[in-house]
Chains A and B, each alone.
Chain A
Amino acid sequence: MQLGAKRWLFAAVLVALGVSALSGHFNRFYLGVAIDVGISIILAVSLNLINGYTGQFSLGHAGFMAVGGFTAAKMTLLLAPVVPEAAHPALFAGSLFVGGTVAALAGLTVGLPSLRLRGDYLAIVTLGFGEIIRVIFQTSETFGAATGLTGIPKFTTLFWTWSVAALTVYVVASLVNSTYGRGFLCVHDDEVAASAMGISPTRYKVTAFVIGAFFAGMAGALYAHHKQVLKPDGFDFMKSIDIVVMVILGGMGNTVGVILAAVLLTVLPILLSDIAEYRMILYSLLIIGLMLARPQGLFNLRRRAERSPAAN
C-alpha cells in the first residue's frame, strides 16, 4: 500500500471519473448500490483508524456521520437556490468540506474526554455522544426536528463518492505507514510503553478521533446528497454497530480487509432481499459465527497483533 500510494490514489480517482462519465449507461439501481458501497468504505476505513489502528473502541461513528450530513445538507439547501447552476459542483465540494470540518470539531469534543477514559468507559461515552447528537438533531427545528431534512439536491455522483473513498484510504494508509503514524500503532499496542518512548497517547488518540470524524462527516454529506432525505432516526446506535461490524469483519487495523468487508456487508443485504425476513437473523448469526471461528477478521491473512486489542 505504501509504495506508490499516490499513484494508486490518482488511478482510483481517474477510474472513478471514467466510470462516472459512463454512468448514464448503467442501471440506476446498481449505480445507487455502487455509491452506497463507496460511502460504507469511507465510514469503515475512517473508523478503522480509531478502532483498529489506535485501539480506541468507539461506538459513536454514526453521530459524526449525522453531524457532517446535517451540516452539509443544511448548507446546500440554503445556498443552492442563490448560487448559479454552474457553481453547484463547487458548492457541493464546499459543503463536503464544511460537513467534514464540523464533524471533526465534534470528534475533538469526543476525543478530549477519551484522555481519561479507556475500554468500556470510552465505548459508552462515545455511544452517549452519538445519542446526544441524534437527540439534538431530533429536537432542533432548524434541522427539521423528527422529520429531518427533505428535498436535498442530488449532488452525489459516483465520481464524488469514489474520489472521497480513495482519498480516505490514501490518507489513512499513508498516515499509519508514516513515521508519525507509527505512534497510532504504538498507542494501540501499549500506552505505557508509548509514553515512555516520548509518544503522547493523548495527542494520538485525539488526532485519530478528529481525522476519523472528518471523513465520517464527509460520508454523511455524501449520504445526504445521495438519499436526498435525512432523518435523525437513521443515525442511531445500530448504524454505529453496523460500521463497527465492518471493521471487525475486515480485521482491525487492516485497511484492505476493512474495504472488502464494507463492500460485502453493503452488497449482501441487497442480494438477500428475497429472504428479507431472515436477513437480519443471518446477519447476527454471521457475527456470532465469525467471532467463534475467525476473531481476527475474515480478510486478515497475516496476523499482525497476537495481543488483545483494546486491552486494559
Chain B
Amino acid sequence: MDWLQQLINGLALGSIYALIALGYTMVYGVLRFINFAHSDVLMLGAFAAFFLAPVVGTIFPAQSYLGAAVIVIIAAAICAAIGMLIELLAYRPLRNRPKLTVLITAIGVSLFIEYTCQHKAVFGARTRPFPKLIPDHNFHIGGIVIGNHDIVVPVVTALLLALLWLIVQRTKIGMAMRAVSFNPQAAALMGVNINRIISFTFGLGSALAAVAGILYAMKSPGIEPLMGIQPGLRAFIAAVLGGIGNLPGAALGGLLLGLLETIAGGIPGISNYRDGIAFAILILILLFRPAGLLGEVKTEKV
C-alpha cells in the first residue's frame, strides 16, 4: 500500500509542476524564449494569497473552500496583471531582437523581482508561515491515508487543464494563439493583433503560475521570496521534457517528473540525490528524443 501513497503524493506534486510548466511552454510557443521570471510570478502569487487571506477571511468564512477559491481567483488576477506588465515593460521593446537578448533580459527580470522582494521594505528575506486556506481533513481508505490537499491539487489542476484546453481549442483568442505560435508573420497578415495575443498568453500563464504557487505554498512549511526557484526549475525541466511549446507535453512532463521524483525520494540509497534526479532523467530522455517526449523533430532546411 505504500506505493499507492507515494503515487498519490507524486500525482499532487506533479500536478503543481504541470501547472507551472504550462506557463513556460505557452510563452515559448508564442515568443520562442524561456521566461525565467515565471518562477517569480509563482512566488508573487503565493504572497498575494498570504496578504489576501486575512482580508478575505473577514468576508467569507475562514478556512473554507469558498474563501480559498476567492483568494485563488484574486491572486490569479493580480499575477496575470503582473505577467502582462513584465511583458509590456521588459520583453515588448525587444520583440525583434535576437532570442538570446530576451533570454538574458528574462534572467535580469527574475533577479530584479527576487532581490526587490528580499529587501526589507518589501517582503524581507525571512520565511513566513503560510495561512491555512482550507480545513485539514484526512481520508482513510484501506490502509492508506489521503489528505484532502492531495485530492484538491490534482482536481484543481484537471479543471484548469480542461479550461485551458477549451480556451486554446474552442475560442477565437485561442485560435489566434495557435496561429501566432505556428507562424507570427502569417498570423499578423491575417489580421491577428500579435501584441494583444502575446499579452494575453502572458496573463494566462501567470494566472496558472499564481494558482500553482498557492497550491505549492499550502504544502510547504512557509513562503519566502526565493521559494519559486526550485519548483520553477523543475517545471522548466518538465516543459522541456514534454517538448517545449507543446501544451499536452508540459502537463505530461510535469506529472511524470513529480511521480519519478517522489518515487526516487522513497528509495533509501537514492533519496540523497533527489535534487539531481530530475536533471538526470531529463538528460537521458533528451539523448534519445532531442525534442522532448511529444515535441516534433524539425529538420533544418537551408
By a beta-carbon cutoff of 8 Å, the part of chain A in contact with chain B is 57, 113, 116-117, 119-121, 123-125, 127-129, 131-132, 135-136, 138-139, 191-193, 237, 241, 244-245, 248, 252, 277-278, 280-281, 283-288, 291-292, 295, 308-312
Partner of B282, one of A128, A241, A281, A311: A128
Known contacts A116-B290, A135-B275: A284-B115 contact under CB 8 Å = yes
Q: Which residue of A lies closest to B288 (CB)?
A: A116
A127–B244 Cα distance when bound, in Å, is 16
A193–B276 Cα distance when bound, in Å, is 37
B100:A136 contact, CB within 8 angstroms: no
Partner of B99, one of A127, A136, A311: A311
A160–B29 Cα distance when bound, in Å, is 48
> 20 more A-B contacts (CB under 8 A) besides A132-B283, A193-B302, A285-B108?
A113-B283, A116-B290, A120-B28, A121-B240, A125-B282, A128-B237, A128-B283, A131-B279, A192-B302, A241-B111, A245-B104, A252-B100, A281-B116, A283-B115, A284-B112, A287-B107, A287-B108, A292-B90, A309-B100, A311-B98
| A113 surroundings in chain B (CB, below 8 A) | 283, 286-287
* Residues 236-268 of B at the A interface (beta carbon under 8 Å): 236-237, 240, 244
Which 6 A-B pairs rank lowest in CB-CB distance, beginning with the nearest?
A: A287-B108, A128-B279, A308-B98, A135-B276, A284-B111, A284-B112
A288:B240 contact, CB within 8 angstroms: no
| Residue B94 lies at the interface, judged by CB distance under 8 Å to chain A | yes
A132:B279 contact, CB within 8 angstroms: yes
| B300 surroundings in chain A (CB, below 8 A) | 191-192, 312
B287:A310 contact, CB within 8 angstroms: no
A38–B14 Cα distance when bound, in Å, is 44
By a beta-carbon cutoff of 8 Å, the part of chain B in contact with chain A is 28, 33-34, 90, 93-94, 97-105, 107-112, 115-116, 119-120, 233, 236-237, 240, 244, 272-273, 275-276, 279-280, 282-283, 286-287, 290-291, 300, 302
**Shortest Cβ gap from A189 to chain B (Å):** 13
A291:B273 contact, CB within 8 angstroms: no
**Shortest Cβ gap from A48 to chain B (Å):** 14
Q: Which residue of A lies closest to B272 (CB)?
A: A139
**Shortest Cβ gap from A234 to chain B (Å):** 16
Known contacts A121-B286, A125-B282, A135-B273: A308-B237 contact under CB 8 Å = no
A264–B33 Cα distance when bound, in Å, is 28
**Shortest Cβ gap from A96 to chain B (Å):** 27
B98:A287 contact, CB within 8 angstroms: no
Q: Which residue of B lies closest to A119 (CB)?
A: B99
A120–B245 Cα distance when bound, in Å, is 12
Q: Which residue of B lies closest to A192 (CB)?
A: B302
B104:A308 contact, CB within 8 angstroms: no
Q: Which of A121, A123, A237, A312 has the most CB of B within 10 A?
A: A121
| A284 surroundings in chain B (CB, below 8 A) | 108-112, 115
Q: Which residue of A lies closest to B118 (CB)?
A: A280
A307–B234 Cα distance when bound, in Å, is 32
Q: Which residue of B lies closest to A139 (CB)?
A: B272
A292:B94 contact, CB within 8 angstroms: yes
**Shortest Cβ gap from B269 to chain A (Å):** 11
A21–B286 Cα distance when bound, in Å, is 51
| B275 surroundings in chain A (CB, below 8 A) | 131, 135, 138
Partner of A124, one of B93, B119, B282: B282
Known contacts A113-B287, A131-B276: A241-B100 contact under CB 8 Å = no
Q: Which residue of A lies closest to B281 (CB)?
A: A128
Partner of A288, one of B28, B109, B282, B283: B109
| A312 surroundings in chain B (CB, below 8 A) | 300
Q: Which residue of B lies closest to A120 (CB)?
A: B34
Known contacts A120-B240, A311-B98: A288-B276 contact under CB 8 Å = no
| B237 surroundings in chain A (CB, below 8 A) | 124, 128
| A252 surroundings in chain B (CB, below 8 A) | 100
A282–B300 Cα distance when bound, in Å, is 41
Known contacts A136-B276, A288-B108: A124-B240 contact under CB 8 Å = yes
Known contacts A288-B105, A291-B105: A309-B119 contact under CB 8 Å = no
**Shortest Cβ gap from B245 to chain A (Å):** 10
| B97 surroundings in chain A (CB, below 8 A) | 295, 308
